[in-house]
Amino acid sequence: FSQSLHASEQNNPIVIAHRGASGYLPEHTLEAKTLAYALGADYIEQDLVLSKDNHLIVMHDIYLDHVTDVASKFPDKARADGHFYTIDFTLPELKQLRVTGPFVKVLGKEIPKYGKRFPLWRSQFQLATFEEELELIQGLNQSLGYNTGIYPEIKKPYFHAQEGRDISRAVLQVLKQYGYTKPDSKVYLQSFDAEELQRIHQELLPAMNMDIPLVQLIAETDWEEKRVKQAGQWQNYDFDWMHTPEGLKKIAGYAAGIGPWHPMLVNDEGTASALLTEARKLGLQVHPYTFRADPLQIPDAYRDFEEFIGLYVEQLQVDGLFTDHPDKVRSYLSQR
């Protein structure tokens, strides 16, 4: 870990630690964020949801089941669909939970979903608030003299709206409080929700005297429908229009970049897809997700992780990569 290792050279894409160094430690814990920092991430990601008492909690899902022991600690707090929603818990309750997982069931046995994150149930990792994480990153920046950025994601604004909350306003208030207000503040604000990003661009940012870059995340329409259905079916996202020149032009009107699922950037011949070509023409930054170095997570088309990210870095020339293994991407970039 050194200044030269940490600093992103001019021609390198930015390394975005996806949920922290989540290939090694339970996702979104402060431990995973500290490790991401030490492994040389340029930006560290925070997925955000709200608690009952209006704290922003750094969590991927709107419910707690997949990554905590909530079912054993608060068995009576599940909703009718069987899920334990973060928004039904106060911060003191959330702090009682142990963070681990996520797991998947294979042949009746629970195994870690992503490789070998350490140490699963054998430690006392906690959920963290957005403020706690910003204190950590800004504190490390101050101590070590680096300027590691943040990459918050507003999770499911429509769900929060149905619960009577404005999560986007809450996120912007915290960003403002911590000084992330200008284009050069080392922050990108991302969401899958195009309508919400437009509201942020048109109403919230000007009203709060802020100007920070927004990133439109792009998934497959079916994929997001499935996830929304699992979560209780409130609304379907449609991503198909984003793959058209008109759609991307619309995105360029409110966002500085796109965050597509990585296969969307490459066509069958291994060259740039129409999505990437059009985004480039419009000057949109391109930050694909998620690059995982676990052998089982590397697509079959690639020999190894270096070949996998090599295509995106050298041929496709993306501007950034979301990765669970920031050290592996940093190591690749340092040898270019």
Q: Is 324 in the site for ligand G3P (CB under 6 A)?
A: no
Cβ neighbours for 252, distance < 8 A, ≥ 6 positions apart? 282, 283, 284
The catalytic residue among 6, 28, 60, 262 is 60
Q: Which is nearer to ligand G3P, 31 or 47 (CB)?
A: 47
Could you tell me the CA-to-CA distances from 145 to 7, 21, 139, 330 in Å, in that order?
11, 20, 10, 19
Minimum Å distance from CB 227 to ligand G3P? Answer: 8
**x/- letters, 152..181, toward Ca ion (CB under 5 A):** -x----------------------------
Binders of ligand G3P in range 33-62 (CB under 6 A): 47, 60
Minimum Å distance from CB 17 to Ca ion? Answer: 11
Of the chain, the end-to-end C-alpha distance in Å amounts to 18
Residue nearest to ligand G3P (CB): 289
Q: How many helices (H) and strands (E) does the chain have?
A: 14, 11
Residue nearest to Ca ion (CB): 153
Binders of ligand G3P in range 216-245 (CB under 6 A): 217
Reply yes or no on whether 60 is catalytic.
yes
Locate tokens 């069987």: which residue? 82
Q: Is 22 in the site for ligand G3P (CB under 6 A)?
A: no
Q: Is 125 in the site for ligand G3P (CB under 6 A)?
A: no
The answer to whether the CB of 200 falls within 8 A of the CB of 176 is: no
The answer to whether the CB of 23 falls within 8 A of the CB of 293 is: yes
Locate tokens 């070998």: which residue? 116
Q: Is 18 in the site for ligand G3P (CB under 6 A)?
A: yes
259 binds, among ligand G3P, Ca ion, none (CB under 5 to 8 A by kind): ligand G3P
Burial 285-309 (b: 16+ CB within 10 A, else e): bbbbbbbbbeeebbeeeeeebbebb
Q: Which is nearer to ligand G3P, 51 or 190 (CB)?
A: 190
Q: Is 324 in the site for Ca ion (CB under 5 A)?
A: no
Reply yes or no on whether 18 is catalytic.
yes
Minimum Å distance from CB 116 to Ca ion? Answer: 21
Binders of ligand G3P in range 135-154 (CB under 6 A): 153
Q: Is 322 in the site for ligand G3P (CB under 6 A)?
A: yes
Distance between CA atoms of 11 and 43, rounded to whole angstroms? 16
- Strands 257-260, 14-17: pairing is unpaired
DSSP classification of residue 106: E
- Binding region for ligand G3P (CB under 6 A): 18, 47, 60, 153, 190, 217, 259, 289-290, 322
Binding site for Ca ion (CB under 5 A): 47, 153
